[in-house]
Amino acid sequence: MPLYEYRCPHCEITFDKLRPFSQADAPIQCPECKGEDVRRLLSRFACFTTGSDGATRAVSGGGGCAGCTSGSCAGCSH
């Protein structure tokens, strides 16, 4: 089951929810303020591999999280 990221425009929190594909855009209630005008965000994902030396490396350049636009999360503290 995929993990979707949502944002509430009322209290401005972002939260994740495991949901089936068929429910990705179905209405969902904000866990903080119980608002129902929540929007699904377009999220990026990271993919990692472990090399023969045991080191973990990002595949295809890595990148920041969905909350920032930089190449690392240092700017948004995630």
At 14-39, the pLDDT tens digits run: 999 999 999 999 999 999 999 999 99
The whole-number pLDDT of residue 43 equals 74
d(CA 37, CA 52): 48
Q: CB 54: neighbour CB atoms within 10 A? A: 6
Q: What token pair was written down for 65?
A: 């999280």
Averaged pLDDT, 57-61: 70
Residue 63 pLDDT > 70, yes or no?
no
pLDDT of amino acid 62: 45
Cα 78 off chain centre by? 11
Q: Between vectors from CA 67 to CA 66 and to CA 71, what angle results, nearest 5°?
A: 75
